[in-house]
Amino acid sequence: MWLQVALPLPLYRSFTYALPAGWPVPRPGCRVRVPFAHRKAIGVVVAVCEQCELPADRVSAIEAVLDDEPVYPSDLWWLLNWAAGYYQHPPGEVLFTALPAPLREGRPPQPADDGCWQATESGRQALEAGQFQRAPVRQALMEFLLQPRSVAALRAFHKHWRRHLRLLQQQAWVESVPSPLAQASGTAARHALNAAQQQVVDAVALQGFSTTLLQGVTGSGKTEVYMAMMEQVLRAGRQVLVLVPEIGLTPQLLQRLEQGTGWPVTALHSGLSDRERQRVHWQARQGTAAVVVGTRSAVFTPFADLGLIVVDEEHDGSYKQQEGFRYHARDLAVARGRKLDIPVVLGSATPSLESLWNAVRGRYRHLRLKTRAAGAALPQLRLLDLRVEQGEHGISERMKAAVRAMLEAGRQVLLFINQRGYAPVQFCPQCGWQGHCPDCDRPMIVHRKAGWLRCHHCRRQERLPATCPDCGHGALVHVGTGTQRVAERVEQLFPDVPVIRVDRDSSRNVQTFQQLLKPVRDGRPCVLVGTQMLAKGHDYPNIGLVGVLQADQSLYSLDFRAQEHLAQLLLQVAGRAGRGRQAGEVLIQTWLPEHPFFVTLLQRGYDALAEQWLKERQLLGLPPAGHMALLRAEARDRELCEGFLLQVKAGLPAPLQAKVSGPLPSLMQRKAGFFRYLLVVQAETRAQRQACLQALLAGAEQIRRRKGLRWWVDVDPQDPF
């Protein structure tokens, strides 16, 4: 017998190993330990064959089979193999992406401290017979263990639980038992659905595969709808997966889902330790976790019996993995739902054009919630024309007055600016010098308090120069505005209210983020200044004004999705206003008030914009109307990078139904010292794109690997240039 084994390597092939005679044959999806290049490696069996084409002395034998059962449930196995083909990514890396680190290292799938302990029959008799009267801790422990108890519960029960437990185990008075399947933790406590919400729930059959696009304005009660559906599925004894954007996973959301469904909720996110992640995977696989809520990679959680997948804020960019295996979690969720024959619900106030396109063509059911659930009206968007009233430090006079009025009315204000730091440019008025990152072709951002110039695209930072490095001029100016500058200005203007700055510098993790936002939760007047970290998933009823300080740059961008992303961001930030009973207002500062983007957005809304964009993209063959992929290359040497792509393109077979353009420089041509170039593949159908990609990859694989050159494919790229 021979085994085809995938190893976690960036290679589009698997490796052949011999199975020693007499060993049980492992199934595909089981891990094995194999010798590889004078080391040992963990691999995954992808196929078992009777024949081997290689000469027998060229094939090594596997050293150990690590699993009796595949580590991937069958639907996940299918999904990963399908995704490796769809994204044209090396299968070994794809299979390993889905495993928690301890499994990648060859450890058993069951975490050491999972499972429960319980008294045995003889233990109960010993307890009744008074065996433990002189050992009070053991007596208490035995009483505690009359029911199955998890390791976590035991740990909380007594400091030295392990030692006592071991003694009891030696006498066979206690034994380890599997954890009980997930059970409801209480009754669901949530709002009674309004008529519109009820219609949505009724329209989605919770059996069989379907994809529903739930387009509901911010505050329309989408989360309540998810919870009603989740409860039905959970009561039927099945599990639920909820995907949320990176910034959306807050303790408030977990608590809300737990209370609203009446079932325990387990979180899965990048902040967990390897062992915690392993435990969540194990519990989901055993069926002891009912609901898993997680970010992008949670789409790979193994489940015992998954019955529903919800993808909240489905348009969010964080669902696309931007390095390594570049999958889109929303699209994989839909594929997995189809395979499992279960419903998938995609929710958003501003759906991606991809999902709208699928809805238009009848692939997704399109349902809507058009009004806010809690009664307040949706905020009106208004523009402040910066051509007629400039401001200082990025805040115009009318914006200032609106902030003052809102604070005096006892309400809160959110000022949005998509630039962290103090100012985006440091400039010498005498000779024109600018603080530029030498590795990235981009200005370095002034971080004034910390005293640094920092590049936001690589790790470079330099001391803030006091005088011009070129001409020695002593009065350098800061051009433009970032969150720090705005926060400083607001503190000067309104010294009596707390000013809370929220960006990646001020809130590096969930805890500090939660801590920072405490005054906002308390509801007292305050001003929040922040980046798009503030846009998502927060429900603070007392925010009365949302001020957008600058958003114009996107309107100059060459990225064909820039306007789509801007509209989504603006409406999402705007959605933070007036979520309680009182209405809110939204003011957007702009130099371009007559730009068609703003005119359409304000007069006719997102749907009108989306319709227009879809028409344009159809005309131009751009996604989602056409199918796109990139072959990207990076090298410190420009010619190496561009030359590689030229060579790959030149080697393409003649009749191809896809169009290949390039090599083009990336929009950011240099990053962290690397030149970046790309080939763009555009095709009418996925099959044509796949054929072209395969030809490109075959060509690229043949070119001898050059040191210092990296290349990869990006299918359905989100940042296309």
Residue 216 or residue 530: which is nearer to ligand ADP going by CB? 216
Q: Closest separation between CB of residue 483 and Zn ion, Å? A: 20
Binds ligand ADP by CB under 6 A, chosen from 59, 374, 625, 656: 374
Q: Closest separation between CB of residue 259 and ligand ADP, Å? A: 11
Binds ligand ADP by CB under 6 A, chosen from 222, 336, 561, 671: 222
Residue 223 interacting with ligand ADP (CB under 6 A): yes
Please name the amino acid found at residue 453.
L
Q: Closest separation between CB of residue 412 and ligand ADP, Å? A: 16
- Phi/psi at 465 (5° precision): -70, 140
Distance CA 14, CA 3 (A): 10
The answer to whether 211 and 365 are in contact (CB under 8 A) is yes
Q: Is residue 197 within a helix (H) or strand (E), and if so which, with residue range?
A: helix 195-203
Residue 261 interacting with ligand ADP (CB under 6 A): no
What letter does residue 192 receive in the DSSP assignment?
P
Residues of this chain, 403-432, that bind Zn ion according to CB under 5 A: 428, 430-431
Binds ligand ADP by CB under 6 A, chosen from 224, 316, 331, 585: 224
The three-class DSSP label of residue 110 is coil
Residue 225 or residue 500: which is nearer to ligand ADP going by CB? 225
Q: How many residues bind Zn ion (CB under 5 A)?
A: 15
Please name the amino acid found at residue 639.
E
| Cis status, amide bond into 663, omega within 30 of 0 | yes
The three-class DSSP label of residue 575 is coil
Q: Residue 221 touches which of ligand ADP, Zn ion, none (CB < 5 to 8 A by kind)?
A: ligand ADP
Q: Residue 223 touches which of ligand ADP, Zn ion, none (CB < 5 to 8 A by kind)?
A: ligand ADP
Q: Closest separation between CB of residue 222 and ligand ADP, Å? A: 3
The three-class DSSP label of residue 449 is coil
Binds ligand ADP by CB under 6 A, chosen from 373, 437, 588, 681: 373
Distance CA 232, CA 84 (A): 34
What is the Cα Rg of the chain in Å?
29
Residue 455 interacting with Zn ion (CB under 5 A): yes
Q: Closest separation between CB of residue 453 and Zn ion, Å? A: 10
Residue 197 interacting with ligand ADP (CB under 6 A): yes
Distance CA 408, CA 545 (A): 12
Residue 576 interacting with ligand ADP (CB under 6 A): no
Q: Interacting stretch for ligand ADP, rule CB under 6 A, among 9-17, 29-37, 105-113, 211-219?
A: 211-219
Q: Is 414 left (phi over 0), alpha (psi -120 to 50) or beta?
A: beta
Residue 354 interacting with ligand ADP (CB under 6 A): no
Q: Residue 191 touches which of ligand ADP, Zn ion, none (CB < 5 to 8 A by kind)?
A: ligand ADP
Cβ atoms within 10 Å of 411's Cβ, excluding its own: 22
Residue 445 interacting with Zn ion (CB under 5 A): no
Binds ligand ADP by CB under 6 A, chosen from 221, 245, 260, 443: 221
Binds ligand ADP by CB under 6 A, chosen from 216, 302, 624, 626: 216
Helices within 433-577 (DSSP H only): 483-493, 510-516, 518-522, 562-574
Residue 457 or residue 521: which is nearer to Zn ion going by CB? 457
15 contacts: CB under 8 Å, gap ≥ 6: 4, 5, 6, 7, 34, 36, 43
The answer to whether 179 and 185 are in contact (CB under 8 A) is no
Three-state SS for 38-58 is CEEEEEEEEEEECCCCCCHHH
Contacts with Zn ion by CB under 5 A lie at 428, 430-431, 433, 437, 439-440, 455, 457-458, 460, 468, 470-471, 473
Contacts with ligand ADP by CB under 6 A lie at 191, 193-194, 197, 216, 218-224, 373-374, 539
